[in-house]
């Protein structure tokens, strides 16, 4: 399966949605959906691929009269566009998933966390559902600030609680103590759409595509030379070269977005889009951002530009992240500009080691994964830059970053 989603598709209204998929299959009891999710093998599509049934079971099991279910549509990774498109063209699938997940864990509150102000499609969808009595729980919408960390789950909890979207230090897990202390389920918007389909068609249907170990499909955001960004639904296990192409116009692949991994070509050309295959190169599918860096661009310049953004996006709460990421970004900028000295690479290695595993959240680790893969894949470029050369013929940035740089503390709200 490899289906391009058409951005122009009109959103399906509630009537069309229900006649295509049938009524929302409420079970009338908590927990009964969970074994089906376990049998389906569904994992989270927000980046970490955590088994969905385990999170639902944890919240269902947790004690509390108040429980919360959240659809995470923050999509704070600037290169990812899949949740935004999904929420625009199939809002009812995500909202079905939110209600069904809420029922399965016994939630008393449902929330939708969005990257931007809610679009008319979502507002209309919610109004239709309320009017027709489809939703068992009213849905509260909260807007995420346009920051890279805003979609991280403890940042989400802080924002939903009225505070800034900053990560918190765990434990406990949000499934035990989340919003206002209540056990909280946070699932990515796409995950909930899959959940709504599994609830209707069952685990066997879900497993018809994908690999036996990693079943189902996932949404990907694809970047290739000279074509516009595309969102494809693809079977897990699809060959990367079927998605990205590996002809001479691509010099390297990026898999998993800005916390992801650069892959060398042609060495990586046989890899497939699943953990088992990508792991052999230290990579993972993440939230499905896949890019083929055109041969005329500088991988070092791209990496330096993105790392500078990632460093600026540090919440600045943890010493190693606050001190390390800007230094790493500055060193990469020197490498890319051919201004590095002998010390620069040693510094990069040392700082990468010093920030890893020492933040309250995964941001330093993800950033270092991205940087280290660049140092490996673009090693020949680094040597060339040290001699004052660069193979790129275009300086035009390839991968997207937000237009507006963060300016103040207020930006976290």
Partner 1 sequence: MAGTLRVNPIACTGHGVCAELLPELIAVDEWGYPLIDPRPVPGALERGARRAVSACPALALRIARIEEPARSG
Ligand X SMILES: Cc1cc2nc3c(=O)[nH]c(=O)nc-3n(C[C@H](O)[C@H](O)[C@H](O)COP(=O)(O)O)c2cc1C
CB 14 within 8 A of CB 128: yes
State the nearest-atom distance from the C-beta of 15 to partner 1, in Å: 38
- Check binding of 47 to partner 1 (CB under 8 A): yes
Residues 306-345 close enough to bind ligand SF4 by CB under 6 A: 314-318, 321-322
Q: How far is the CB of 147 from ligand X (least distance, A)?
A: 9
Among 320, 338, 400, 406, binds partner 1 (CB under 8 A): 320
**Shortest Å distance, C-beta 46 to partner 1:** 8
Rounded Cα gap, residues 229 and 82, in angstroms: 11
Q: Counting contacts by CB under 6 A, is residue 84 touching ligand X? A: no
Find the shortest distance in angstroms from Cβ 51 to partner 1: 13
Rounded to a whole number of angstroms, the minimum distance from the CB of residue 319 to ligand SF4 is 8
> How far is CA 11 from each of CA 6, 15, 100, 116, 198, rounded to the nearest angstrom?
11, 11, 21, 18, 21
**In 3D, which of 308, 293, 187, 189 has the Cα closest to residue 250?**
293
CA–CA distance, 183 with 12 (Å, rounded to integer): 33
**74 lines the binding site for ligand X (CB under 6 A):** yes
Helix (H, G, I), strand (E, B) or coil at 108: coil
Nearest approach, Cβ of residue 322 and ligand SF4 (Å):
6
Q: How far is the CB of 355 from ligand SF4 (least distance, A)?
A: 8
Q: Is residue 51 a contact point for partner 1 (CB under 8 A)?
A: no
Stretch that binds ligand SF4, among 53-61, 138-146, 247-255, 355-363 (CB under 6 A): 355-363
Q: Give min distance, CB of 151 to ligand SF4, in A.
A: 12
Q: Is 169 in the site for ligand X (CB under 6 A)?
A: no
Whole-angstrom CA distances from 97 to 80, 90, 92, 187 are 21, 11, 8, 10
By CB under 6 A, is residue 361 in contact with ligand SF4?
yes
**How far is 229 from 243, CA to CA, in rounded Å?**
12
CA atoms within 13 A on the CB side of 43: 20
Judged by CB under 6 A, the chain residues 364 through 383 that form the site for ligand SF4 are: 364
Q: Which residue is nearest to ligand SF4 (CB)?
A: 359
The secondary structure of 257-309 as a DSSP string is GGGSEEEETTTTTT-BSSHHHHGGGT---TTSEEEEEETTS-HHHHHHHHHHH
Residue from 41, 44, 78, 145 binding ligand X (CB under 6 A): 44
Residue 119: count of CB within 10 angstroms of its CB: 15
Nearest to 122 by CA among 137, 142, 107: 142
The β-bridge relationship of strands 109-114 and 68-73 is parallel
Which partner, partner 1, ligand X, ligand SF4, none, binds residue 173 by CB below 5 to 8 Å per kind? partner 1
For 389, counting Cβ atoms within 10 Å of its Cβ (0-12 exposed, 13-18 middle, 19+ buried), the class is exposed
Which residue in the set 84, 153, 214, 381 belongs to the binding site for partner 1 (CB under 8 A)? 153
The entry of ligand X, partner 1, ligand SF4, none that residue 45 binds, CB within 5 to 8 Å by partner kind:
ligand X
Any idea how long the chain is? 413
CB 59 within 8 A of CB 110: no
From ligand SF4, partner 1, ligand X, none, which one binds at residue 314 (CB under 5 to 8 Å depending on kind)?
A: ligand SF4
From the list partner 1, ligand SF4, ligand X, none, partner contacted by residue 72 (C-beta under 5 to 8 A by kind): ligand X
Cα 201 to Cα 194, 207, 233, 374: the distances in Å are 10, 11, 18, 42
Region binding ligand X by CB under 6 A among candidate stretches 73-81, 226-234, 349-357, 397-405? 73-81
How far is it, in rounded angstroms, from Cα 338 to Cα 325?
20
Backbone angles phi, psi at 121, to 5 degrees: -60, -45
**Closer of 204 and 350 to partner 1 (Cβ):** 350
Minimum CB distance to partner 1 smaller for 322 or for 390: 322
Q: Which is nearer to ligand X, 289 or 382 (CB)?
A: 289
Residues near partner 1 (CB under 8 A) are 47-48, 50, 152-154, 167-171, 173-174, 317-321, 323-324, 354, 357-362
Residues near ligand X (CB under 6 A) are 44-48, 50, 72, 74-77, 148-149, 151-153, 186-188, 191, 361-363
């Amino acid at each position: 399966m490899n289906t391009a989603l058409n951005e122009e598709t009109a959103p399906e209204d509630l009537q069309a949605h229900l006649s295509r998929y049938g009524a929302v299959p409420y079970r009338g009891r908590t927990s009964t959906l969970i074994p089906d999710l376990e049998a389906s093998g569904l994992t989270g599509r927000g980046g970490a691929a955590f088994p969905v049934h385990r999170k639902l079971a944890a919240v269902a099991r947790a004690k509390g009269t108040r429980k919360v279910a959240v659809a995470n549509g923050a999509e704070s990774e600037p290169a990812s566009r899949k949740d935004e498109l999904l929420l625009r063209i199939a809002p009812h699938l995500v909202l079905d998933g939110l209600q069904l997940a809420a029922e399965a864990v016994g939630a008393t509150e449902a929330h939708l966390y969005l990257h931007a102000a809610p679009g008319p499609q979502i507002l209309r969808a919610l109004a239709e559902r309320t009017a027709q009595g489809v939703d068992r729980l009213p849905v509260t919408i909260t807007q995420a600030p346009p920051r890279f960390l805003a979609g991280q789950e403890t940042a989400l909890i802080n924002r939903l609680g009225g505070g800034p979207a900053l990560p918190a230090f765990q434990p406990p897990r949000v499934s035990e103590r989340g919003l206002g202390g209540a056990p909280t389920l946070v699932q990515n918007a796409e995950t909930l759409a899959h959940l709504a389909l599994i609830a209707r068609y069952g685990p066997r249907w879900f497993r018809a595509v994908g690999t036996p170990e990693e079943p189902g499909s996932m949404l990907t955001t694809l970047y290739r030379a000279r074509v516009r960004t595309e969102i494809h639904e693809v079977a897990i296990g699809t060959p990367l070269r079927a998605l990205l192409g590996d002809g001479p116009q691509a010099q390297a692949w990026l898999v998993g977005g800005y916390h992801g991994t650069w892959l060398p070509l042609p060495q990586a050309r046989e890899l497939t889009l699943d953990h088992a295959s990508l792991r052999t190169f230290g990579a993972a599918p993440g939230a499905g951002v896949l890019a083929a860096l055109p041969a005329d661009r500088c991988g070092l310049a791209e990496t330096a530009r993105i790392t500078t953004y990632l460093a600026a996006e540090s919440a600045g709460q943890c010493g190693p992240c606050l001190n390390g990421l800007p230094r790493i970004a500055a060193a990469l900028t020197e490498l890319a500009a051919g201004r590095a000295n002998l010390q620069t690479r040693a510094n990069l290695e040392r700082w990468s080691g010093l920030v890893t595993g020492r933040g309250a959240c995964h941001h330093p680790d993800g950033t270092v994964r991205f940087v280290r893969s660049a140092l490996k894949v673009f090693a020949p470029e680094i040597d060339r830059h040290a001699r004052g050369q660069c193979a790129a013929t275009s300086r035009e940035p390839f991968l997207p970053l937000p237009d507006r740089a963060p300016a103040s503390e207020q930006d976290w709200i």
